[in-house]
Structure 1
Amino acid sequence: MDALISAAARALAAGDPLGALDHVALRDDAPALALRGIAMAQLGDFGRAKALVRDAARAFGAQHAVARARCVVAEAEIALASRDLAWPAKTLDAATATLDAYGDRVNAAHARYLAARRLLLIGRLDEAERKLAALDPRPFPPALRAAHELVVAGVALRRLRSGAARAALARAGRAAREAGIPALIAEVESASVALGKPAARMIAHGEEEPILLDEVEKLLTSNRAGGALIVDACRYAIRDANAAVALASRPVLFALARMLGEAWPDDVPRDALVARAFRAKRADESHRARLRVEIGRLRTALGTLASVSATTRGFALAPRHAREVVVLAPPVEGEHAALLAFLSDGQAWSSSALALVLGASQRTVQRSLDSLAAAGKVQPVGEGRARRWMTPPLAGFATALLLPSPFPS
């Protein structure tokens, strides 16, 4: 490795892409192409970065297995940064195995962290945790230790473990400052800000108040949960201290349960239940008959958690063991709330990546994006396959509870 390549590599490791380009911008040999690609990625030109890294992999040839594997890892990192989450995970796994075989443990660990971050973004938390459990960050450089703790914090936030998230972010901050990379320090600070923003809304006795992630965790896991029946509109489930019922696959039942929970201890008129659960402008006899059927199904689903009784004008919810009913709602709701939650991270997302994380068809996501763009809430960047979508963060809110994750047990 010549002096210019070494100097460019040191500049990139320190988060100085312009300094790196000063050394290799006019060179077209394989190492220079790889470094130029990484520099362009740090500058945000992901399309050019991907092309340069691929050119570098071809230039290295089959006889340089480790260098080609590092290019694969760099391309995966570029894909992650540009929210192109459909890249083949098996290709990254093969590159990781090559790096392991040749003793490049640092870059192999970096590849595993990229895979874990992708799993975190698409809501596969168990797999992300298994990836993390297999890694000991202590021998790694500070930048990798910070990356490890950021993934740990991300999983903890989605699991509603605020204490673990705060501790991980503190460790990430120390490692980022030790690494001295401004972009990494800013990423840690941005993640830390979410802990001080409202993460949900609590609705009880007809009153609503925003609550922080710590308070959400306390509501779900502390002694207070033992005294409340919680209608969780963030994960579409109902629970008390003894049991939980998931209703994500039964939206009509959950809509009825939520209305009854918000009105508790009062009842809800039949016409209001019909209008919200069935989206009917006017309730007729067929709607009322259907309502009776769905209320019967809700009674069966709730089991020992609560009963639903008929009143003169409608229906009322009555917890069997809890002393009160609390509704936990997302900080922001609406037709496109989940889509906006992902876009609120300030990154540029492809429609295919959004479809992947939302579990929807790309055409459905595209229609939603077009609708949001017409309303001025999102904006496209680029054309054709290179088109990405982005929006400013939702001011004053933490959107972690809008993202897909399992209901806490």
Structure 2
Amino acid sequence: MDSLINAAGRALAAGDPLAALKLVALREDPPALALRGIAMAQLGDLSRARALLQRGVKAFGANEPLSRARCVVAEAEVALATRDLGWPVKALEAARRVLLDHADHLNAAHARYLQIRRLLLIGQLDAAQALLAELDPAPWPPSLRAVHELLTAGIALRQVQAHTARAALERAQRAAQQAAIPALTAEIEHALQMLDAPAARLIISGQSQTVTLAQVEALLASSTLVVDACRYSVRGAGMTVALATRPVLFSLLRMLAQAWPADVPRDALIAQAFRLKLSDDSHRARLRVEIGRLRSALQPLARIVATARGFALAADDVALLTLPVEDKHAALLALLADGEAWSSSALALALGSSQRQVQRSLEALALAEKVQWFGVGRARRWTTPPVPGFATILLLPVALGNG
């Protein structure tokens, strides 16, 4: 590898893509193509970066597996930045193994961090946490240590562990200062701002207030019975009952929690849970059946008692935790609020939904001027500015049992 390639590599490592381009901009050899691709990625021209890296992969060929593997990792990073979550995971894992076989532990770790970032984006927290636990960041340079701590914080945020997240972000901030990479520092500062922003709305005895993630964490650790409308569950006494797959039961429970300590009339429960304007004896019978199922689901956390006009939740302390933004497309907006341009297929993968359903939601949001799009056909991408003044952590999709 010649001196210009070495110098360009050092410039990229220091976060100076313009200096790297000055050294290799006119060269077409495989190492220069790879470096130019990484430089263009750092400058934000991701489509051009991806094209250059793909050319680099082909130019290196099978006779240079180490360089080819490094190109594959760089291409995967660009794909992640463009929210192309469908890129071949097996190709990245194969490249990581090649890097390990050639003792390139630094780039192998970088490949692993990319795998973890993808898992975090699609809400697979257990898998992300397991992979992260295998990595020791101590030997890595400051930039990679900062990435490790950012991922630690990201997982903690999604698990509503605000104190763990803050400690990780403070370590990331110190590492980023040593790395002196402005983009990395800005990402950490944005994550710290999210910790202090309102993350949810809390309703107790009819009184509503916004709360931060740290306050949510403290609430979930208390003896209060918490009906969590962010994760469709109820928590108390160290136990969690998931009701995400039982929407009628959760709808009834939410109304009872919002009215606590008062009761809710039967007609109101029927109208909300069953979407019926009028009720008759059959509907009242159905309500009794669903209330019985809810009683069974809540044991031993709380009781539901019948009153003269309806039903009431019987517990010492009850709190209802709701989304900071009440919108049926809230999870979709939360993903788009990261400021990146998403494809509908990537959004469908992250939400665990069908692509057509996501497309219909995006079209409805576009009509309401809540999202914007650019490009046509398969190249169409969707984006929106962040929800002003709110953290979107509790809006993000997460696998059941990880909330």
By the TM > 0.5 criterion, same fold? yes
Matches within 5 A, 1:36-55: 36-55=36-55
Gaps of 5+ in 2: none
Q: Which amino acid aligns with 1:70?
A: R
**CA distance in 2: counterparts of 1:83 and 1:64, whole angstroms:** 29
The DSSP-based 3-state class of the residue aligned with 2:261 is: coil
In structure 2, the residue matched to 1:87 is 87
C-alpha distance in 1, partners of 2:50/2:305?
A: 61
Which segment drifts farther, 398-407 or 340-349?
A: 398-407
- Larger mean CA deviation between 280-289 and 241-250 belongs to 280-289
Structure 1 CA distance, aligned partners of 2:156 and 2:108?
24
1:335 equivalent in structure 2:
328
| Contact 1:267/1:315 (8 A) holds in 2 | yes
**Shift in Å at residue 407 of structure 1?**
4.5
Instruction: Provide the alpha-carbon RMSD of the alignment.
Output: 1.4
Asked if 2 retains the 8 angstrom alpha-carbon contact of 1:237 and 1:407, the reply is no
- Find 2:349's aligned residue among 344, 356, 360: 356
In the alignment, the residues of structure 1 paired with residue 86 and residue 282 of structure 2 have an alpha-carbon distance, to the nearest angstrom, of 45
* Counterpart AA for 2:292: G
Q: CA deviation at 1:306?
A: 1.8
TM-score (ref. length: structure 2): 0.96
Aligned partner of 1:29 in structure 2 is 29
Of 363, 367, 379, 2:372 maps to 379
CA drift at 1:268? 0.9
1:366 paired with 2:365, answer no
Q: Which runs of 5+ in 1 are unaligned?
A: none
In structure 1, C-alpha distance between the alignment counterparts of 2:74 and 2:358, rounded to whole Å = 28
The answer to whether residue 66 in structure 2 is matched with residue 66 in structure 1 is yes
Which residue number in structure 2 is paired with residue 214 of structure 1? Answer: 214
Aligned equivalent of 2:263: 267
Matches within 5 A, 1:2-401: 2-221=2-221, 225-226=222-223, 228-319=224-315, 323-401=316-394
Paired AA for residue 80 in structure 1: L
Matches of 1:219 and 1:260, distance apart in 2: 19
- Asked whether the equivalents of residues 150 and 188 of structure 1 are also in contact (C-alpha less than 8 Å), the reply is yes
Report the CA distance between 1:286 and its aligned residue.
3.8
Deviates more, 1:163-172 or 1:238-247: 238-247
TM-fit CA distance, 1:242: 4.6
Q: Give secondary structure in 1 for the equivalent of 2:173.
A: helix
**Relative to structure 1, is the Cα distance of residues 10 and 242 closer, same or farther in structure 2, using a 3 angstrom cutoff?**
closer
TM-score, normalization by structure 1:
0.95
CA distance 1:19–1:383, change in 2 (3 Å): farther
- C-alpha deviation, 1:281, in angstroms: 3.3
CA contact (8 A) 1:266 1:316 kept: yes
1:309 Cα deviation from its structure 2 partner: 2.1
Paired with 2:362 and 2:23, the residues of 1 have a C-alpha distance of 41
Q: Evaluate the alpha carbon distance shift between residue 42 and residue 383 of structure 1 in structure 2; reply closer, same or farther with a 3 A threshold.
A: farther
| CA offset digits 1:298-345 (Å, max 9, x no partner) | 1121122222222222211112xxx21111112112110010011111
- In 1: Cα distance, 2:232 partner to 2:347 partner: 21
Deviations 1:87-114 (A, max 9, x none): 1211111100000000101000000000
| Percent of aligned positions that are identical | 64
> For the structure 1 residues 42 and 384, does the alpha-carbon distance in structure 2 shift closer, same or farther, using more than 3 Å as the test?
farther
Q: Out of 50-59 and 242-251, give the one that drifted further.
A: 242-251
Pairwise CA distance, 1:267 = 0.8
Contact 1:235 1:407 in 2 (8 A): no
Aligned residues: 402
